[in-house]
Chain A
Amino acid sequence: MHSLQTVVDLSRWQFAATALYHFLFVPLTLGLSFLLAAMETVYVTTGRKIYKDMALFWGKLFAINFALGVATGLTMEFQFGTNWSQYSRFVGDVFGAPLAIEGLMAFFLESTFVGLMFFGWDRMSRGKHLLVTYMVALGSNLSALWILVANGFMQSPREAVFNPVTMRLELTSFADLIFSGDAQAKFVHTSIAGYVTAAMFVAGISGWYMLRNRHMELAKRSFRMAALFGVFASIGVISLGDALGFIDGGAQPAKLVAMEAMWKTRTPPAGFNVIAFPSQKQQRNLYEIQIPKLLTPLVTRTMDTVIPGADEVENQAMVRMKDGIPAVLALKTLSADPTNQPALAQFKAHEQDMGYALLLKRYAPDLRAATPADYQRAARAVIPNVAVIFWSFRVMVLAGFSMLFYLGVAAYCSLNNRVQDRRWLLKLAPWLIPAPFIACEAGWLVAEMGRQPWTVYGVLPTWMSVSTHSVGYLVFSLTGFVLIYSAFIVVEAYLMLKFIRKGPDEGRLAAPLH
C-alpha cells in the first residue's frame, strides 16, 4: 500500500513537473504569434519597414521559445502511456482522438507554417507571408484547443458512458466533447492568458529599451501595440476566468471548497475569504479575513443558493460510496461473465456512483468489509489540498488584476504619447514580465490539484490510474526530467537575454519617421 502511494505521488510529481515546465513556454507562443501577426498586418497595410523589423525581431524571440516549447511538450504525450497506462486504457476511447488531433495540429499545421514564416520572408509576397503568420498563430492556438478539450473532459466527464463489458469509458458524442462548457471556457481562458503573457513580455522588453534610449522607434511601437493588445486580453482573461470558475464550481464542488477554504456549509449569502490559513487536518481555517455576502453571488449568480462546504461534500461522497459498491461488485461478475443480466442490471442501477466506490477501494480493498473509519478517510480524501489551491487561486487573481491595471495605464499613457515621460511605468515593465507566467502556473495548480483525488472527476480515482512502475524507476526518470528541463530553461533564458541585449539588427532597421 505504501509503495503504491509512493508510485502515485511520484507519477503525479513527474507529470506536474513536466507540465509546469512546458507551460512556461506555451503561453508566450500562443500570444506572441498573434502579436506578430498584428505587427505584420501593419507592415502589409502601410508598407512601413519598421513593422517588418518588429516582426523579425520579436519573431526571433518567438522562434527560441517555440522550439523549446515543442521539445518540452513531446514527453507529456508519452507520459500518458508510460506513467498513466491504466488511465489511458480507461479513457483512451475519449482521450485518444483529441490527443491525436493535437499532435497533428502541432507537428503538421503549426510546424510547417512556422518554417515558412521564418524562412519565407524573401520567398513569398507580403500578403502570402502575412497569411502564413496568421496560420502559425491559428495553428498554435488550435493545437492548444485539443489538449484543453481533453482536459475539459477530465474536469467534467459528461460526454461518455462506462461500458461494463469492455471496462472502458466510451464517447457518446464527439461534438458534445468539443462544445462542452468546460472545454470552451478553459480554451478561451488559456489562449487569452497567452495573449496577456505576450503583451507583458513585449511591453517589458520595449520598456527596458526605452529607458536606455535604445531602438526607440521599434520600442515605442512595440510598447503601444503590446499595451493595447494586452489590456483587452486582460479583460477577456478575467471574464473567462469568472466563467470557468462558475462552470467548475458547479461541476466540482470539492474544488470550489478548496478555492474558497470553505469547510462548513453556510447560510446564503456566504462570505468570501480574502485571506485564510486553512488546516486540512483540523478542517477549519486557523485565521481568516472575510468580505461578507460576496461569495454566493460571485459563484452562483444568485443571493440564496447554498454553496456546499467541505462537510456537505464529504457527506455526499459517503452516500455515493455506499451506493457505488453494488456497481463495482457487479463489475467483478461481469468480468467473468459479460452476459450476466442480473449483474448488468445491478451495474446500471448504481453506475453513477461507481467512481466513489473505486475511491473507497483505496482504503478498503474488500468493499463489503469497509468500516465507518474507511468511509471517513475516503471522504476526507475527496477534499483536495486546500491551502495550496486557496493561495494559488489568489496569486493568479492578484497577478491578473495587477496586469490589467498596468496595461490599462500603459495603454492610456502610450495613446497620449506620454510613455517616455513616465519613467516609473517603463521601470516597472521588465519587473512585471514574470507576472503572467506565475499566473499561468498558479492557474494550472488550481485546475489540476483541485481535481484530486480524481484523474477523471467522479469517475476514475488517481490511485487507479497509474502504471505499475517501481519507485526507483520513477525517481530516476523524475530526476532526469527535472535536470533536462532545467537545462532547457537555462538555455531559453540565455538565448533570450543574449538576443534582447543585442537588440534588433540596427543596420537593417528603417530610418526614423522624423
Chain B
Amino acid sequence: MILLRMLLYLVISLVTLFLVILLGQRGAWYFAWVLGTVMIVLIAAAGGALLDAQEEAKQSGQ
C-alpha cells in the first residue's frame, strides 16, 4: 500500500514537472490557467471554510 502511494506521488510529481517545463516554456497562458484555476478553486473553498469558522466564533462569543 505504501509502495503504491509512493508510486502515485511519484507519478504526480513527474506530471507536475513535465507540465511546468513544457507549459512554462511554450504555453505560458496554459500554465497560468492551471495555476489560476487551482488558486481560484482553493480560495473559494477556503472562503467556505472561513465562513464556518466565523459562524462558530460568533456562536461561541454569544
Interface of A toward B, CB cutoff 8 Å: 34-35, 37-39, 41-42, 45-46, 48, 51, 141, 175, 178-179, 181, 184-185, 187-188, 191-192, 195, 220-221, 224-229, 232-233, 236, 240, 243, 411, 414-415, 417, 513-514
Contacts and interface: CB of A to CB of B under 8 A. Distances in A.
A294 B41 CA distance: 35
Nearest to B39: A232
A220 B29 contact: no
Contact of A188 (B32, B40, B51, B54): B32
Given A34-B41, A195-B40, A513-B55, A228 B47 contact: yes
B29 A184 contact: yes
B18 interface: no
Contacts of B30: 179, 184, 187-188
Interface in B32-49: 32-33, 36-37, 39-49
Contacts of B29: 181, 184-185, 187-188, 240, 243
B5 interface: no
B54 A417 contact: yes
B27 A229 contact: no
Given A38-B42, A141-B37, A187-B33, 14 more contacts: A38-B45, A41-B45, A45-B45, A192-B33, A195-B37, A195-B40, A224-B47, A224-B50, A224-B51, A229-B40, A236-B36, A415-B50, A417-B58, A514-B58
Given A42-B49, A228-B47, A233 B33 contact: no
- Specify the main secondary structure of chain B where it touches its partner: helix
Nearest to A199: B44
**Closest 6 A/B residue pairs (Cβ):** A184-B29, A229-B44, A228-B47, A38-B44, A225-B44, A179-B26
B54 A175 contact: no
A513 B52 contact: yes
Contacts, number: 96
B28 interface: yes
A179 B48 contact: no
A234 to B, nearest CB: 10
Given A48-B52, A187-B33, A41 B27 contact: no
Contacts of A243: 29
A195 B59 CA distance: 33
- Specify the main secondary structure of chain A where it touches its partner: helix
Given A240-B29, A417-B54, A232 B48 contact: no
A377 B56 CA distance: 71
Contacts of A51: 48
Contacts of A220: 51
A150 B22 CA distance: 20
Contacts of B49: 42, 45-46
Given A179-B27, A514-B59, A221 B43 contact: no
B61 to A, nearest CB: 11
B48 A221 contact: yes
Given A51-B48, A179-B26, A192 B36 contact: yes
Contacts of A229: 40-41, 43-44
13 contacts: A41-B41, A48-B52, A141-B37, A188-B32, A220-B51, A221-B48, A224-B47, A229-B40, A233-B40, A236-B40, A240-B29, A417-B51, A513-B59
Nearest to A51: B48
Nearest to A46: B49
Given A187-B33, A188-B33, A240-B29, A415 B47 contact: yes
Contacts of A226: 44
A226 B59 CA distance: 24
Contacts of A46: 49, 52
Nearest to B55: A513
B44 A191 contact: no
B41 A228 contact: no
B52 A35 contact: no
Nearest to B29: A184
Contact of A191 (B33, B41, B54): B33
Contacts of A175: 26
B44 to A, nearest CB: 4
A229 B45 CA distance: 9
A42 B27 contact: no
Given A228-B47, A236-B36, A37 B27 contact: no
B43 A228 contact: yes
A26 B48 CA distance: 26
A233 B39 CA distance: 10
A513 B56 contact: yes
